[in-house]
Amino acid sequence: MTLQEVYFVAEIVVSIAIIISIAFVALELKQNSYLLRKSMADQRSERINWFAETGCTNADFRNFERRIDTEYSTFGEDEKFRANLVGVRILRSLLEEMIAYFDGQVSEDEWLNLKWNMEHAAKRPHVQAVYLWMKDGYPKKSSRVLGSIGCEPRRPHS
């Protein structure tokens, strides 16, 4: 075998190795995207499970959470602060997930669930109050998206 033949064989081997490397990188990217979406879905489930579990096991939280929808406007400063902290916990994860949707990290199916959650959260007075405070920390298009799906929070009742 001449040196030129060895060179051609080596070139073929290197070409095959490059193709295998590219395929491996593509597979790793796909797997990483899947894991990221799975992690976000797990965080969503964890948030909902925390809320449900706390509501089931803590009568004070359950009663307070019920009162938020009906008595928020009559709350004193301490109760509004407490309600608003619950609202921050709800809204922050929704807005972070919406940003991930803008970045293509959330699938269209997951968007349906996120949209449903946002529509219901936006009706809550404590979420409305904290949205007015938090919205400037998020991209402007988040306000446009919230408005376009009918869940741009209104000014809360004082």
Residue with tokens 């306000």: 143
pLDDT of residue 157: 43
Indicate whether 1 pLDDT > 80. no
Average pLDDT over residues 114-137: 85
pLDDT of residue 23: 95
**H/E stretch holding 90:** helix 77-102
Is the CB of residue 156 less than 8 Å from the CB of residue 130? no
- Tell me which DSSP letter residue 104 carries: T
CA dist 11 and 6 (Å) reads 8
pLDDT of residue 151: 55
pLDDT of residue 156: 42
Average pLDDT over residues 87-94: 87
Is the CB of residue 115 less than 8 Å from the CB of residue 150? no
CA dist 77 and 42 (Å) reads 34
Whether the model clears a pTM of 0.75, i.e. scores above it, the answer is no
Average pLDDT over residues 45-65: 89
